[in-house]
């Protein structure tokens, strides 16, 4: 169900520093600038897929309740809001994340997939709307989170989904710190 993914930057050097400043440094003012960089690859991906931005819902990957309380904001939502506005698509809180599990940043490969399996639930839509989703997150690592989100969206009646992130890893994180 996850059809495509795009990112303007590799998760290295300056891009990694920007992501960390947003998430851990709480520099939330960076999010609109980051979203501006995400817009061209999102538009290109949607065009390649033949998807009309007016016929999709923008969906931020949710944080778990404890992480949201700890951080005070969801970085994916801060990126999704301006992206949705520019694309002319509604931002829909279509997913929730169940409590539990460990931080994905500390896990690798199969452990990431197991950590998110069954943790995302689709919220019932309050009104009929688009059945195509553009998932938004800050970093694409193994794809485990995106795949789990796409599966939850499929179970809720979404027909297809694509992912846009600010950055992506270029190689497995084994041995990197």
3 state SS for 70-135: HHCCCHHHHHHHHHHHHHCCCECCCEEECCCCCCHHHCCHHHHHHHHCCCEEECCCCCCCCCEEEE
112 occurs within a structural domain: yes
Check: pTM over 0.75? Answer yes or no.
Answer: yes
Question: What value does the mean pLDDT take over residues 99-127?
Answer: 67
Spatial separation of the C-alpha atoms in residues 140 and 163, rounded to whole Å: 9
Model pLDDT for residues 7-41, shown as the tens digit of each residue? 999 999 999 999 999 999 999 999 999 999 999 99
Spatial separation of the C-alpha atoms in residues 22 and 14, rounded to whole Å: 12
155 occurs within a structural domain: yes
177 occurs within a structural domain: no
Domain containing 134 equals 2-168
Spatial separation of the C-alpha atoms in residues 165 and 3, rounded to whole Å: 14
Residue 175 has pLDDT above 50, yes or no: no
Task: Of 168, 14, 165, 169, give the one whose Cα is nearest residue 75.
Answer: 165
120 occurs within a structural domain: yes
CATH number at residue 96: 3.40.50
What whole-number percentage of the chain has pLDDT above 90? 68
Model pLDDT for residues 117-137, shown as the tens digit of each residue? 777 988 866 557 788 999 999
Model pLDDT for residues 36-95, shown as the tens digit of each residue? 999 999 999 999 999 999 899 999 999 988 889 999 999 999 999 999 999 999 999 999
60 occurs within a structural domain: yes
User: For residue 82, which phi and psi values (nearest 5 degrees)?
Assistant: -70, -30
176 occurs within a structural domain: no
SS3 12: coil
pLDDT at 169: 92
pLDDT at 157: 86
Residue 174 has pLDDT above 60, yes or no: no
173 occurs within a structural domain: no
């Amino acid at each position: 169900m996850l059809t495509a993914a795009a990112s303007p930057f590799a998760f290295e050097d300056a891009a990694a520093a920007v992501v960390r400043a947003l998430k851990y440094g709480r520099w939330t003012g960076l999010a609109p600038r980051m979203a501006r960089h995400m817009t061209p690859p999102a538009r290109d991906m949607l065009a390649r897929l033949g998807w009309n931005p007016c016929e999709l819902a923008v969906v931020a990957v949710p944080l778990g309740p404890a992480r949201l309380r700890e951080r005070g904001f969801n970085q994916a939502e801060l990126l999704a809001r301006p992206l949705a506005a520019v694309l002319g698509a509604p931002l829909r809180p279509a997913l929730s994340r169940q409590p539990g599990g460990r931080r994905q940043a500390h896990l690798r490969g199969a452990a990431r997939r197991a950590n998110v399996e069954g943790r995302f639930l689709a919220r019932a839509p309050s009104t009929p709307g688009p059945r195509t989703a553009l998932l938004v997150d800050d970093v694409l690592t193994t794809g485990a989170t995106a795949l789990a989100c796409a599966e939850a969206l499929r179970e809720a009646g979404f027909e297809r989904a694509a992912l846009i992130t600010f950055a992506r890893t270029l190689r497995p994180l084994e041995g990197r710190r």
